[in-house]
Structure 1
Amino acid sequence: MELTLIVLLVIVLALFFDFTNGFHDTANAMATPIATGALKPKTAVILAACLNLVGAFLSTEVAKTISGGIINEGEGGVLISPEMIFAGLLGAVVWNLVTWLYGLPSSSSHALFGGLIGAAVVGAGFEAINGAGLLSKVLIPALAAPLTAGIVAFIATKVAYAITRRNDGKKDGRGRYRYAQIASSSLIALAHGTNDAQKTMGVITLTLVAANLQDPDTGPHIWVVVTCALAIALGTYSGGWRIIRTMGAGLTQVKPAQGFAAETSTAATILASTHLGFALSTTQVASGSVIGSGLGRRGSTVRWRTVGRIASGWLFTLPAAGAVGALAAVIAHIGPVGIIIDAVIGFGVILFIFWRSNRNKVDHDNAIPSPDVAESGYAVRIRKGTVKAETTPTGSVQSLSPVEQSAVRDDRAAREARKAAERAVRAAEKAERAARKKNGKGKKSGDAR
């Protein structure tokens, strides 16, 4: 098999990964505005696709990190061949689709890094990995970014609710945050294009350098930028509705002010990381922001069981994608026949996952039921406490993924607990009124005597 054909296969698979990255990460920008009713589902994904396309042209710092900051260069060029890059991409694509099937908002970025690292170790040994670059540009941001975004979202949510609080019983107008959400979610989509589209640009550039078709330490060609921008935009337009369901309704019940705080925190973190060249996971940042905003809104419930499952997915993404990439690299070492075997097996796995997804189809009609956004001033106020009345998407538990089933069960348990609390308070009030009435009658009888 000619080297040029290998390069062509890598470019095609890289663009397909870019496509999966698009629909896998649509939820990062659009899950919360869809959940609150700020944007209609189809409108949201069209807007996100357009802004992803624009954002891909704004910077190439992350692309340079991928092409020159993770894989080392030797005397003859980078210490990884196009065959190994093909194997690494295969690991990333397979993991991306598996997590999408189960509605897990895992990191496409870390799937890509894991696949490339696994394949590079098989192909050239551990010396092929730039440990310092991996630590400073990938691993540290992976820990710091979601935590930072969560803290910022927590504070922003507290501030948003504090400045709109009213004590006169009138509506507080927080529903107007839905209009602000259009701007904040658009900013996330733009930021996503500036960060995630560049990762595929970096992979294609790395391939061209490895094949001696481009000089080392040079940025991506314009045709690479254009094709990657189009691929991620098309992927974003396709929706990724399973993960939108998890992000929009599986972690916490999202209200307009809360959603706006989460979105602005996500966008700020992504844009700052892009400027510094950090190839962080936009999914982890968005999830951290949603959790932080849920903790910041009084009366909301964060579904920690679902958070734990998502965190487990994050933990296993790098090693799982790396294992698949390494296995594909071992097969690719056979030669041209190995590349063909990898391509056939990978294509079969992709077809199976898409076939399996049709048994439980999720689209714009059923991803998140029409939100019933309550007026944020509505509450049942009883003496010193407040019992919030909230609505939660419901549906057939059997039609949901395991993560979504858990979220529904947790939510139903929380609602039952709130109802029980309300009944207990009403019973206590009733008993107190009866006691007052009885005491009043006793006083009147005593006065008559």
Structure 2
Amino acid sequence: MELALVIGVIVVALVFDYTNGFHDAANAIATSVSTRALTPRAALFMAAAMNFLGAHLGTAVADTVGKGIIDPPAGAHGLVVVGSGLVGAITWNIITWYFGLPSSSSHALIGGLMGSALAASAVVHWDGVLAKVVVPMILSPLIGFSLGAIIMIAIFWIFRRTQPGKANRGFRYAQTVSAAAMALGHGLQDAQKTMGVIFLALVVGGHASTDDPIPQWVILAAAGAISLGTYAGGWRIMRTLGRRIIALDPPQGFAAESAAAGVLYSAAMAFGAPISTTHTITSAIMGVGATKRLSAVRWGVAGNIVTAWVLTIPAAALVAALSYLAFHWLLE
């Protein structure tokens, strides 16, 4: 029974990873596609490949998710807690994808785990949630916005005497590099979150110890699932990020992608913090747009996105809690 539950939770985790890929594919490539630096299919293929590579760059974020958010009980009960958390995250991903809102898959996952843990009266590591989730959740968009604006101002200054047409052609090539860097950071961050959940399921099911390293097969499975999901694409969200917030040109796209990639690498490598790639790139786009003029940013669309951000953790937690109660009743 427990082995079947472990396998079931792993399958659900990989489904979440796949939805994370198609939900967040726009994070890496929307700006490059909207500026015509890359064709949609070429951008998706590049993003999928870089996601796969990025998943192999470390496990600090996976350790945070797998060991620092909740402490479910061992055995079947704990596996139901983990599985229910995943159901909450997947449900919120699908809802926000349907409406084209770039919400955070990361925060949906963390909210789902917290909601199912609270419903089961399991341990939630509130100190870890505060330090590794809440503080980075607040800081990463602010840093992304500021860094995007700083890079854009630097580009204005450095290329102030360059003909606009020539600058745009050059930055279309540069965007290939910045988009690849963004996709690599997405793999580094988001694939590791699924690794952490699978490892948590293995620990709860008695197939691993908390002191063990993340198994290589877990890394490969998570990397493959998110890459496949990325290649499937998230066209609804791509339109929101690429055009509805601000009409981007190649220098702006390069600045936004470079700023977001820098924040993703810093958070993962230095702090092991599972930050949202969605929040980071969206805030960087807003920061870049604000350097042109404040009215260039469509703040009404931005407000809808922020509303989705605020709702993500509690909404995913609620769905996860209800899922836990339903699964627990069925398995009694």
SS of residue in 1 equivalent to 2:120: helix
Q: Report the equivalent of 1:123.
A: 120
Q: Distance in 1 between matches of 2:60 and 2:210?
A: 15
Q: TM-score normalized by structure 1?
A: 0.71
Whether the 8 Å contact between 2:113 and 2:320 is mirrored in structure 1 is yes
Distance 2:90 2:233 in 1: 17
Q: Which amino acid aligns with 1:115?
A: G
Moved over 6 A (4+): none
The Cα of 1:166 is off from its aligned counterpart by 2.7
Secondary structure at the aligned position of 1:333 is classed as helix
Equivalent position amino acid for 1:82 in 2: L
Partner residue of 1:181?
Answer: 175
Instruction: Render the CA deviation track for 1:173-194: whole Å, top value 9, x for unaligned.
Output: 2211111000001001011111
- The 5-angstrom pairing of residues 186-335 of structure 1 reads 186-275=180-269, 276-298=271-293, 301-335=296-330
The 2-side partners of 1:174 and 1:78 are apart by 59
What letter matches 1:101 in structure 2?
Y
Task: Quote how far apart the aligned CAs of 1:122 are.
Answer: 1.1
Hey, what does 1:362 align to over in structure 2?
A: none
How far does residue 165 in structure 1 lie from its aligned partner after superposition?
Answer: 1.4
What's the counterpart of residue 384 of structure 1?
none
Q: CA RMSD in A?
A: 1.7
- Contact kept in structure 1, 2:21 and 2:229, CA below 8 Å: yes
Residue of structure 1 equivalent to 2:82: 85
Q: CA deviation at 1:282?
A: 0.6
Question: Structure 1's 171 and 16: CA in aligned 2 closer, same or farther, altered over 3 A?
Answer: closer
Determine the structure 2 residue equivalent to 1:367: none
- Find 1:111's aligned residue among 96, 108, 115: 108
C-alpha separation in 1, matches of 2:95 and 2:212 = 34
Report percent identity of matched pairs. 42
How far residue 161 of structure 1 moved from its aligned partner, in angstroms, is 1.3
Please say if residues 28 and 179 of structure 2, whose CA atoms lie closer than 8 Å, have aligned partners that are also in contact: yes
Q: Judge which range, 269-278 or 76-85, deviates more.
A: 76-85
129, 132, 137: which is aligned to 2:127?
132
Indicate the residue corresponding to 2:59 in structure 1: 60
Q: Is the 8 A contact 1:71 1:79 kept in 2?
A: no
SS at match of 2:296: coil
CA distance in 2, matches of 1:162, 1:300: 21
Aligned residues of 1:165 and 1:172 also touching (Cα < 8 A): no
- Give the aligned length: 330
Distance 1:277 1:78 in 2: 28
Distance of aligned partners of 1:116 and 1:80 in 2 relative to their CA distance in 1, 3 Å threshold: farther
Tell me how far apart the structure 1 counterparts of residues 2 and 175 of structure 2 sit (CA, whole Å): 48
Given the alignment of the two structures, is residue 147 of structure 1 paired with residue 142 of structure 2, yes or no? yes
Greater helix share, structure number: 2
Deviations 1:258-278 (A, max 9, x none): 111111000000000011200
Secondary structure class of the residue paired with 1:186: helix
Q: Tell me which of the two structures has the higher relative contact order, counting C-alpha pairs closer than 8 angstroms and 6 or more residues apart.
A: 2
Alpha-carbon distance in 2 for matches of 1:334, 1:40: 49
The answer on whether the counterparts of 1:71 and 1:78 sit within 8 Å (CA) in structure 2 is no
Unaligned runs of 5+ in 1: 338-449
- 255-264 or 298-307, larger mean C-alpha shift: 298-307
Q: Which moved more, 1:80-89 or 1:259-268?
A: 80-89
Cross-structure match for 1:411 = none
Aligned partners of 2:215 and 2:152: how far apart in 1?
Answer: 42
Structure 1 CA distance for aligned equivalents of residues 76 and 118 of structure 2: 10
Taking a change above 3 Å as real, the CA distance of residues 72 and 336 of structure 1, as seen in their structure-2 partners, is closer
Q: Distance in 2 between matches of 1:203 and 1:3?
A: 16
Listed one character per residue, the Cα deviations across residues 128-171 of structure 1 (whole Å, up to 9, x for unaligned) are 1000100000111000001101100001111101211139xx55
Question: CA–CA distance in 1 between the matches of 2:61 and 2:54?
Answer: 13
CA contact (8 A) 2:2 2:75 kept: no
Matched letter for residue 133 of structure 1: G
Task: Report the equivalent of 1:9.
Answer: 8
Secondary structure in structure 2 of the residue aligned to 1:173 = helix
Q: Compare CA radii of gyration and give the structure with the larger one.
A: 1
* Structure 2: distance between partners of 1:183 and 1:80: 46
